[in-house]
Amino acid sequence: MQIAPAFKAPTRLLMGPGPSNAAAEVLAAMSQPLVGHLDPVFVKMMEELKGMLRAVFLTRNEMTFPVSGTGSAGMEFCFVNLIEPGDEVIVGVNGVFGTRMVEVAERCGARVTKVESGWGNIIAPQQIAEALRNVSKPKLVALVHAETSTGALTPVEEISKLVHDAGALLLLDTVTSLGGCPVRIDEWNVDAVYSGTQKCLSCPPGLSPVSLNARALEVARRRRTKVQSWYLDVNLLASYWGQERVYHHTAPISMNYALHAALRLVLEEGLENRWRRHKQNHLALKSALAAIGLDLASQEGHQLWQLNAIRVPQSVDEAEVRRRLLNDFNIEIGAGLGPLKGKIWRVGLMGETSSRENVQLFLSAFCQVLNECGRKTDPTAALAALK
């Protein structure tokens, strides 16, 4: 067998739905020497990691740590620990990730009631209220905060109140929202939450920060049946991430270094500043797009700052535009999925990637490519609208 040449990654501007670009400090942190996963130095680092995650989630939950695996592992972690066969679960479905939650919940044996909205729209409180009335004993309501497949942000507070009035738990997917817009786990009374590292935290993919409050933890501890997954069982993971430090599985050492470095950057910038930066760059992009006659496909008033779903104009070859951006400009953007396939481009402004400079770089390249693809577009108008 011929040995492949050493892999050399190109330097891309990652403006898709994730991963986003990671800061140099984060990548440098990963290249440090390995230590053992029970080394006192590593254990101290884990404690700092948990503390910083609490600060970013705005929670005091003791059980806050990164699950080994990407965002979907965090999703499975929450469902496998909280759901037993036969439990009634309500899931908001308005895109890819709500659909995935249904799939995961059903694999846990849940009886799932879907609350559906059109892709691009939010899940409204009255829809959840109605579902809660129709389900006899709802145990859990699961929602995607920021739907990365459509660019819509579902407000959580009012829904949280309805869920708790009905005696159920609230599970929230914050994979794309965390670090890019307000996420307030304690203030919103969210019982279980998961996120991912490679979206607005700007860390490579590989860990899924999670947090369970006392109520959720109690549900996981008092199960009648064993958690279906040995790897994701919080009762076992707690002995490693808690004070006992008992071996469960080998923590992905370098990924934990990276997350530690990434969280330091988030907290050094400050959550409020970081949210404001994401908002400003989204608004700048949106007004530049309006100046060249393009608009966003997601619901007005609920559009994500970190993911812009641009409606593809008639007569433009959607895939060709993405291909040229990648090949000629080293810029990656995302395609539409499901019912939005071919209808939108997904332009991410997540974490490190969300800067005025990157918005300008994107617009210049995008306008040029649109012209090449037969849609007359004036780059000067777009850039002037940035102000």
The stretch near ligand PLP (CB under 6 A) out of 168-176, 214-222, 229-237, 281-289 is 168-176
The verdict on 144 binding ligand PLP (CB under 6 A) reads yes
The stretch near ligand PLP (CB under 6 A) out of 43-51, 70-78, 259-267, 336-344 is 70-78
Which residue's CB comes closest to ligand PLP? 71
Handedness of CA 273, 275, 281, 284 (dihedral sign): negative
Q: At what angle do helices 253-269 and 40-57 cross, to 10 degrees?
A: 40
Q: How far is the CB of 136 from ligand PLP (least distance, A)?
A: 29
The verdict on 154 binding ligand PLP (CB under 6 A) reads no
Q: How far is the CB of 167 from ligand PLP (least distance, A)?
A: 26
Contact positions with ligand PLP (CB under 6 A) in 110-139: none
The verdict on 97 binding ligand PLP (CB under 6 A) reads yes
In three-state secondary structure terms, 194 is: strand
CA-to-CA distance for 79 and 98, rounded, in angstroms?
13
Which positions ≥6 away from 170 have C-beta within 8 Å?
140, 141, 143, 156, 159, 160, 163, 164, 189, 190, 191, 192
Using CB under 6 A, which of 76, 173, 191, 332 touches ligand PLP? 173
Q: Could you give phi then psi for residue 116, rounded to 5 degrees?
A: -105, 145
The verdict on 205 binding ligand PLP (CB under 6 A) reads yes
CA-to-CA distance for 89 and 55, rounded, in angstroms?
29
Using CB under 6 A, which of 71, 151, 334, 336 touches ligand PLP? 71
Using CB under 6 A, which of 23, 55, 72, 313 touches ligand PLP? 72
Torsion of CA 225, 231, 232, 233, to 10 degrees: 40
DSSP-derived pairing of the beta strands 13-14 and 331-332: parallel
Give the interface with ligand PLP as residue ranges (CB under 6 A): 18, 70-72, 97, 144, 146, 148, 173, 175-176, 196, 205
